[in-house]
């Protein structure tokens, strides 16, 4: 129970602070080595080997197909509380989004516990993917297990620092979701256990470089930037003014177009009326 409370403390303290690169002091011993060192723009090693929830041997390259962005989380099935709260919060956000797991994007949850079996991961997959339960999403949320070597390599690549506490048999860690490009580049970090659907959606659109989402999402991304201190997208006054000016110009052009068309037609008619009329030359007869 003490480790659970410590993990929740890490969630509250480490997420925003790590996003700002601040150092925390006076942390409990269990949390001294726990946190996230953001590595945005870094490449995930796609050659790492895992087993999915069905026991199938795969590499990360099988899941990062170059087409869909990926939400990556590091959890473990026997986590007493934090992982469950985080994955429930993520599921709630996904259920509120129009984008569908397995169609516009994938979710990959990797166990940080090398003792976890694919059978245990399958139970976890049924719980969360089943709770999501949207038509067309089957096979879009993957729960992976692997050796300590592969887990450590992935955690290091995304800057996810966690610690095993032997006397409790548990892992001290924080809660973070990495938003990755279809090619496996880390684009954004989302912290906490509750996620705004709009923030998740725009993060995916940004990571995919416009390959997913709508035209309106692209406009919103132009007008908003990600506020690291608040963990969500906020307005950018300059871009909003630019977008507003563009809309105003288009609206004026649309309103004046009929006038220009009528004016052009009238001018053309007047020119025809003023044109000289050919008359016979009397000397020619």
What is the secondary structure of 41-59 as a DSSP string?
Answer: TPBP-TT-EEE-TT--EEE
Question: Looking at the domain assignment, is residue 60 inside a domain?
Answer: yes
- Predicted confidence (pLDDT) per residue in 99-109, tens digit: 999 999 999 99
Domain residues for the domain of 152 are 30-213
Question: Looking at the domain assignment, is residue 246 inside a domain?
Answer: no
* Cα–Cα distance, 19 to 40 (Å, whole number): 11
Question: Looking at the domain assignment, is residue 100 inside a domain?
Answer: yes
Compute CA distances 252 → 116, 180, 264, 265, whole Å: 63, 40, 18, 20
pLDDT at 167 over 60: yes
Question: Looking at the domain assignment, is residue 83 inside a domain?
Answer: yes
pLDDT at 247 over 50: no
- Predicted confidence (pLDDT) per residue in 80-122, tens digit: 999 999 999 999 999 999 999 999 999 999 999 999 999 999 9
Confidence of residue 9 (pLDDT cuts 50, 70, 90): very low
Question: Looking at the domain assignment, is residue 82 inside a domain?
Answer: yes
Q: Which of 22-26, 50-54, 144-148, 203-207 has the lowest mean pLDDT?
A: 22-26
* Residue 79, marked binder: yes
Please give the tally of structural domains in the chain: 1
Average pLDDT for 25-30: 61
In this prediction, what percent of the chain has a pLDDT beyond 90? 59
Question: Looking at the domain assignment, is residue 234 inside a domain?
Answer: no
Question: Looking at the domain assignment, is residue 12 inside a domain?
Answer: no
CATH of the domain at 60: 3.40.30.10
pLDDT recorded at residue 227: 57
Average pLDDT for 32-55: 95
Question: Looking at the domain assignment, is residue 225 inside a domain?
Answer: no
* Cα–Cα distance, 100 to 88 (Å, whole number): 17
The HSE-up count of residue 244 (CA atoms within 13 Å, CB side) is 7
* Residue 223, marked binder: no
Confidence of residue 208 (pLDDT cuts 50, 70, 90): confident
């Amino acid at each position: 129970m003490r480790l659970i409370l410590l993990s929740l403390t890490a969630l509250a303290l480490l997420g925003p602070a790590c996003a700002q690169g601040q150092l925390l002091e006076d942390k409990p011993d269990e949390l001294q080595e726990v946190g996230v060192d953001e590595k945005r723009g870094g490449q995930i090693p796609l050659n790492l080997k895992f087993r999915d929830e069905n026991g199938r041997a795969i590499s990360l390259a099988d899941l990062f197909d170059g087409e869909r962005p990926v939400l990556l989380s590091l959890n473990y099935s026997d986590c007493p509380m934090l992982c469950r709260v985080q994955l429930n919060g993520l599921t709630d956000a996904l259920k509120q989004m129009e984008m569908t797991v397995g169609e516009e994007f994938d979710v990959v949850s990797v166990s940080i516990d090398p003792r976890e079996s694919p059978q245990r991961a399958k139970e976890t997959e049924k719980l969360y993917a089943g709770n999501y339960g949207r038509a067309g999403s089957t096979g879009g949320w993957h729960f992976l297990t692997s050796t300590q070597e592969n887990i450590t390599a992935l955690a290091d690549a995304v800057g996810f620092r966690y610690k095993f506490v032997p006397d409790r048999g548990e892992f001290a860690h924080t809660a973070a979701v990495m938003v990755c490009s279809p090619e496996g580049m880390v684009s954004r970090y989302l912290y906490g256990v509750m996620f705004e659907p709009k923030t998740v959606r725009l993060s995916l659109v940004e990571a995919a470089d416009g390959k997913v989402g709508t035209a309106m999402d692209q406009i919103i991304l132009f007008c908003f930037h990600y506020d690291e201190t608040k963990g969500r997208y906020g307005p950018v006054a300059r871009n909003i003014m630019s977008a507003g000016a563009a809309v105003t110009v288009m609206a004026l052009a649309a309103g004046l177009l009929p006038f220009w068309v009528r004016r052009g037609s009238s001018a053309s008619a007047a020119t025809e009326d003023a044109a000289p009329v050919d008359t016979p030359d009397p000397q020619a007869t």
